[in-house]
Structures are given as C-alpha cells and as structure tokens.
Structure 1
Amino acid sequence: MNQRPSLTELTAFAAIVRHASFRAAADELGMSASTLSHMMRALEQRLGLRLFHRTTRSVAPTEAGARFFHNVSPVLSDLDRALADVGALSEQPTGSVRINAAEPAARALMDRIVPAFLERYPGIHVDLVVEGRLVDIVAEGFDAGVRLGESLPRDMVAVPFGGDCRLLCVASPDYLRRAGTPRTPDELARHPCVRFRLPSGKMYRWEFKRHGQEFKFDANGPITLDNMDLMVDAAIKGLGIAFVWDDTARPALDSGKLVTILDDWTPPFEGHYLYYPSHRLVPVALRAFVDVLKDVERQAPPPPRPR
C-alpha cells in the first residue's frame, strides 16, 4: 500500500459499518452517499481488499472489512478521547458522552442522573442509545454501557447506581379470584402466562429462588410481548400472570390494579452498573458523567428496593 488511509476515510469507513448504511453514514458525516461510496471504492483499491458486500438494499463488511473495523475502532476512540482530554483544559468541558443501555437502565439514568449532569455540564451532549441486546461498547463506539451486575463484561470499570433490582410475579385481583392463586412456582404451569421475548428472539425463562433453592420456568400462555409496559397492561386486563420489573409494575400495584404473588420466591438481586474500559484514557465527558453519578448516589440514595 503506497498511501495510508486518511482520518476522513477511516472515520467514514467506521460510520458505514456502524450504521450498515451508506446513506445513514453520509447523513452523520454531512456528505452525499455517492461521495461516500466513491471514497470507499478508492480506499478498497488502495488497500487491495474488498471491505463491503453491497446490494441495492444493504451493506455489510466483508471478513476483511470486519477485521479492519475491529482494529480501527479503538484507534478512532482513542483519538476522540485524546481530543476530549485536551478540551478539559477549557473552563467548561464540552463534547459528548455516548451510553448504551437497556430500557429499565435508561429510565434509571433519566430519573435523576442525566438531569443533574446536564445542569452541571450544559456544554456536554448526552447520547443515550436504548436497546435490549448486549453489545461490545468498544467495537460499537460507545463511551460506556449499563448492565446488571450479573452480566458485566470482564476487565471493565463498573460503578453501581440505583440500588438492587427485583422481578415480580403479578396478576389482577379479578384474575386470581377467577383462576386461583399459585402458591409455588410449579403451579404456574396451570395458568396462562404473559411471555416475554428477549431482543435475541428467545423466550425469557422465569427464574425463582428461595432458601438456596432455584426454579426455572418456561412460561406458556396466549400472548408474547417484548415490552414490559405492555405486559403490565396485559396482566391488568386479566390475560394471565406476568413476570415484570418492580418499577414497571409499581403504579399498577399501588393503585390496586395488580397484586403480587410468590413474593418469597422473588428476592432482590444486584442492580445496574455503568461500565467502561479500564485500559483506555477516560474521556473528559465520561469522567464528568461518572463523577455526577457518584455524587447523585451519595447525596440522594434511592428509596429501598424492592417493596
């Protein structure tokens, strides 16, 4: 290769892989899709490698392209962090912090932490990407991610927030009067259940624990949903028993529209952690976000969970 790729080319290449789209990448970069396509063809010619599989409807990296992206992404991230670190020399930090989180974790961040952060650092933009799948935050260009304690990746700095979490078995009082109340998890097999589909497409297995005894249950019922707010609605309508987050069910429980069952089988477990790579320079915006998160947790501890 006679000439190294420019920073513009590398940035454009990474954007195409992240978006799986020339058009979306072009919008991000502020150029036309045709210009971007021409740039990538020129890069492929200089590298002597095909980086993308292109069709009229999709674009995906080749094996060589995927490997190139894996190696280039950390370099671009380090450069962004270095530039952000220089920005820390200014009196008021600027830039952005990009965080990946599932919906319950995103709600927890939005409750107290993000408002406090934006009040303290109005010059920093928060890009909160909400999705249920587990991602490689380094490879996909995130500064940080949020996961439950039990699923944290290795070799990461992890900062807890929000207290413990709990999943609850809930049903409407009318349903229980009509169908009876299960006393043990195995009795759920005789009841219609509202099933939950994970982002991977698999059905979530209900997990129960009491006095060291564990029970896993493959729920069966008339409806499958991928949103816990809708699962709560289904339970309120008497369509069956649902297994949902405490916070999601709490308004319906407080109003009496739902009640809990099998409480002694659903103990709390380790809650959410903000995590980020431990072996890289921490960008200024992320460092500021972590500081605010810690301050909020110290100053205003969340109410005891679960109830």
Structure 2
Amino acid sequence: MKTEDIALFHRIVETGSLVEAADILNLPKSTLSRRLQALEDELNVKLFHRQSRAMTLTASGSHFYDKTTPMLATLEQTLSELSGQEAQVAGHLRILIFPIPEILHITHAIFEFMDLNPELTVEIIVSSEPKDMIRNNIDLAFMLEDAFNENEMVARHIIDETVHFFASPEYLERAGKPLTPEELPAHNSILFRYPNGRIFNEVPFGKEKTLSVTGNLCVNSLGTCLEATLMGRGISMMPLPIAQEYVENGKLVMLFEDVEPYEGKCFLVYPSRRFISLASQRFIDHMMLALETCIQNGACDRQAKTKGAIKPLI
C-alpha cells in the first residue's frame, strides 16, 4: 500500500469531489480514479459512495480517514527525524497570503526556501476572499487575526502591525474632522469584511476602547479600501504602510495622531485536523527564522513620516 495513495485519498475526502481533487492536484481525473480504485481493491472495502457530482465517505471510508490522519502525520515526523534538518524536501506547497504590507518580505522568504529545496514546487495565492483551506488543499496561510477560526487552525504569531484611521481632505472638508472618539460613529466609515465572513465594524480605538461604526460601503481588499478612502468615500482603518505615501503627499490625513494606535497581528496558520507534511514543517521553521532575522536586522522595520514625525511601525 503506497502512502501517496493514502494522501490522495485524503485530498478527495477534503474536497468532496474527484474532479476538484484532480484539478487541485493537477492530475488527470482518470489517474486519480484508478489509484483510488487500486486502494479500495487492496483494502477490499468501498471507501466512497460515488454520486454524479460528489463523493461521500462510507462508514469504512470514514474509519480509514480518521485512523490514517495521525498515521500520516507520524510518518512525516519520522521522515523528518531520519533525514535530518539538512536534507532537501520535495513535493508541492499551496500558500495563501492575505494582502498585508509585509507581503514582499514573505514572498522573498518563500523564494529563499525554494532555493534551499529545488525539488519543491510552490503555488502562492494572494487573496482576501474566504477560502476553506482544507477543501482548497491550502497547506499554509498568512492571515490577520479574526480572519480565521481558531478552533480549526494552529496559529503562529509572526508580525505586529499598527493600524490608524485615515480620510481624504475632501471628505473632511465635506463632513468635518472628528476630534474625539465620540464623533467617529457619526461619520461614514469604510467597513471591511474578513475572509471568515465577519464585518469589521467594532473597531479598536487606542488600546482600551472599542467603537461601533457604520458605513454605506464594505470591502474585502485593502487596495479597494485605500482607493475608496482616496476618493473621499469615508473614514477607513488601515495599516500605516498602506497609506504612508498618500499621507506624505497630502492626499490622505491620519486622524487621532495623539492616540496610541491599535496593533493588528498576523499569523502563520495551518489546519489543525490535517496532517502536516515534512515540507510544511520545514517551511514553518524557515519562515519563523527568516522573519525574526528580518525584524532584528532592520530590513522589516519601516519608518513612516507623518507631518515630520518619525513613527516606527514594528
């Protein structure tokens, strides 16, 4: 019995469809079907109820999935221990990155990991759209807090990001500039929807206060949020690196400059109910070290100038 066939069986379970699993794995459907049939013949059990558009597990299939999940994880760990940390890894990683300011540092570190492991192939998906990591066969993701279900994920904190309120001069001329937190809820806010479906309308003000805001526009992209703010659609809350250039050239105004900014957190996450591959294990170790080194040597530190003041972001 090949462990690769068991891993393919897991992908079919997680996508719920032979066609979707074949597309994600970039394999012909006929190849996947043949290997699944060979696994069933070897086990002498039927693993799936086959339907026209979906496949559901039989009782035997469900039992086999539950039992083989920790077995695959143990095997990957054993291979890691036997091969040593210097051994190259192979396979394929699908990595989801939320469009955060540090995306270039993250992608550079990914490229370094690929150079260290030339047998590895990588797919990078940049998106703020909701994506089921299990169903979409995503191995790892860089996501903001509150953007994922903590009960379904293992999360490693990697980056802090200061977040500020911004508006265009045109909006402030039309609606007035809020000077106190009590004034903010009366303004039109540009709302943000996280990948998990939650709308970010209970916003932190400083370190200890939370305000309820409303608005007539909701987006799920920082780029769209920035464009809407520049066009005077309302007040937004964004990481300073996103808006820094426009604050410097006068196209945006940072509000409540004297209030200590809220610190958003970014996490490296992966599904808790799925075995983690050797490539993923090595990648996590590499990323944690790369980002820690990047911050320590100053390469990840960004200094934003707002009205002459220098404010460190990390």
Decide: shared fold, TM above 0.5. yes
**Equivalence map 1:276-287=2 (5 Å):** 283-287=281-285
Residues 46 and 58, structure 2, Cα contact 8 Å, conserved in 1: no
The answer as to 2:94 corresponding to 1:95 is no
Instruction: Measure how far apart 1:181 and its partner are.
Output: 0.7
The answer as to 2:193 corresponding to 1:197 is yes
- State the alpha-carbon separation in 2 of the partners of residues 182 and 226 from structure 1: 25
Residue by residue, what CA displacement relative to the aligned partner does 1:45-82 show, whole Å, maximum 9, x if unpaired? 867566457343x5565787667545533433443454
SS of residue in 2 equivalent to 1:260: strand
Q: 1:219 aligns with which of 214, 217, 224?
A: 214
SS of residue in 2 equivalent to 1:263: coil
Identity of aligned residues (%): 21
Report what 1:253 is aligned to.
Answer: 247
Instruction: Measure how far apart 1:236 and its partner are.
Output: 0.9
- State the alpha-carbon separation in 2 of the partners of residues 124 and 294 from structure 1: 23
Q: Which has the higher strand share?
A: 2
**Residues 178 and 275 (structure 1 numbering): CA distance in 2 closer, same or farther, change over 3 Å?**
closer
Report what 2:290 is aligned to.
Answer: 292
Instruction: Measure how far apart 1:232 and its partner are.
Output: 0.8
- State the alpha-carbon separation in 2 of the partners of residues 247 and 67 from structure 1: 49
Report what 1:73 is aligned to.
Answer: 69
Report what 2:308 is aligned to.
Answer: none
34-43 or 248-257, which moves further after superposition?
A: 34-43
Residue by residue, what CA displacement relative to the aligned partner does 1:275-306 show, whole Å, maximum 9, x if unpaired? 678x9897445434444333333333513543
SS of residue in 1 equivalent to 2:200: coil
Report what 1:263 is aligned to.
Answer: 257
259-268 or 249-258, which moves further after superposition?
A: 259-268
**Residues 68 and 209 (structure 1 numbering): CA distance in 2 closer, same or farther, change over 3 Å?**
farther
Residues 185 and 215, structure 1, Cα contact 8 Å, conserved in 2: no
C-alpha root-mean-square deviation of aligned residues, in Å?
4.3
Tell me the number of residue pairs that the alignment of Structure 1 and Structure 2 aligns.
294
Report what 2:19 is aligned to.
Answer: 23
Residues 95 and 125, structure 1, Cα contact 8 Å, conserved in 2: yes
**Residues 109 and 202 (structure 1 numbering): CA distance in 2 closer, same or farther, change over 3 Å?**
same
SS of residue in 2 equivalent to 1:183: coil
In structure 1, the gaps of 5 or more residues are: none
Residues 105 and 146, structure 1, Cα contact 8 Å, conserved in 2: no
**Residues 299 and 79 (structure 1 numbering): CA distance in 2 closer, same or farther, change over 3 Å?**
same
Instruction: Measure how far apart 1:19 and its partner are.
Output: 3.6
Q: Which letter maps to 2:313?
A: P
**Residues 256 and 61 (structure 1 numbering): CA distance in 2 closer, same or farther, change over 3 Å?**
farther
Report what 1:160 is aligned to.
Answer: 158
**Residues 295 and 261 (structure 1 numbering): CA distance in 2 closer, same or farther, change over 3 Å?**
closer
- State the alpha-carbon separation in 2 of the partners of residues 32 and 119 from structure 1: 29
- State the alpha-carbon separation in 2 of the partners of residues 269 and 257 from structure 1: 24
Residues 113 and 292, structure 1, Cα contact 8 Å, conserved in 2: yes
Instruction: Measure how far apart 1:11 and its partner are.
Output: 1.9
Q: Which letter maps to 2:256?
A: L
Q: Which letter maps to 1:252?
A: Y
Residues 100 and 128, structure 1, Cα contact 8 Å, conserved in 2: yes
Residue by residue, what CA displacement relative to the aligned partner does 1:107-145 show, whole Å, maximum 9, x if unpaired? 1543653344445555544444445558778x9673x54
Question: What TM-score results when the alignment is normalised by the length of structure 2?
Answer: 0.70
